[in-house]
Amino acid sequence: MRSACILSGGKSSRMGRNKAFLPVAGLPNIRRIVETLRPHFPDVCLVTNDPEAYEDLGLPMTRDRYPGQGPVAGVHAGLLLARFDRVFVVANDMPFVSAEVALRLVELSEGYDAAVPEVGGQVHTLYAVYRKETAPHFEAVLLEGRRRMVDVYERIRVRYVRAEELGLTPEEAERIFFNMNTPEEYARALAWTEEGEVQK
């Protein structure tokens, strides 16, 4: 069995408004992500420090146990909340989440503590699969006063996954791992949807 956990704890300072609720192809982005994952993951949950804003999604929710400590704290909270051992973790600012890619990452995580895409020279730590039992390693890093995902990776068995292993062309990978942090990036996401790009 598998879980999916959406991280929605960022401040959206560069965007100027909450990225989770930006409309993409007629739906708030957070709802797009939920509707993409829900048919394929029996457990979908959310990490947010503003749970009231997300009540209508009907998801199990939790806050960061270590507020203000960035993605490591968000993943840690999500792993504690998730019901199943393999947890697909994704940030709320990724408008083209692919269930097919998420499921492939779950498969590729077998024998490892994490399966993390490394595409175009970038490691996508918040579009990755982690085992629930790695939560203590995330907490240990936080208790040491560190906040980088790479600090966690030094403690666990990570499989880095290339786009080819996910069956993606460079163009598909660019879109699927795209995240929108600025108004310009949001405009690009909207342009993609207007061009009728079909997510894998």
Please check whether residue 183 lies inside any domain of the structure: yes
Reported as a single tens digit per residue, the pLDDT across 14-44 is: 565 788 899 998 899 999 999 999 999 999 9
Please check whether residue 135 lies inside any domain of the structure: yes
18 vs 143 pLDDT, higher one: 143
- Please tell me whether 8 is known to bind a ligand: yes
Total number of domains constituting the chain: 1
Please check whether residue 199 lies inside any domain of the structure: no
The model's confidence at residue 198, banded by pLDDT at 50, 70 and 90, is very low
Judged against a pLDDT cut of 70, whether residue 63 lies above it is answered with yes
- CATH number for 78: 3.90.550.10
- Please tell me whether 81 is known to bind a ligand: no
- Please tell me whether 50 is known to bind a ligand: no
**pTM here?**
0.94
- Please tell me whether 64 is known to bind a ligand: yes
- Please tell me whether 12 is known to bind a ligand: no
Please check whether residue 149 lies inside any domain of the structure: yes
Q: What percent of the chain has pLDDT over 70?
A: 93
183 vs 148 pLDDT, higher one: 148
- Using CB atoms within 10 Å of the CB of residue 64, give its burial: 0 to 12 exposed, 13 to 18 middle, 19+ buried: buried
Task: Say what the pLDDT of residue 181 is.
Answer: 86
**What domain range includes position 150?**
2-194
- Please tell me whether 190 is known to bind a ligand: no
Please check whether residue 102 lies inside any domain of the structure: yes
Please check whether residue 200 lies inside any domain of the structure: no
Q: Which of 2-6, 26-30, 33-37, 57-61 has the lowest mean pLDDT?
A: 26-30
Separation CA 170–CA 164 (nearest Å): 9
Task: Say what the pLDDT of residue 11 is.
Answer: 61
Task: Say what the pLDDT of residue 10 is.
Answer: 62
Judged against a pLDDT cut of 60, whether residue 200 lies above it is answered with no
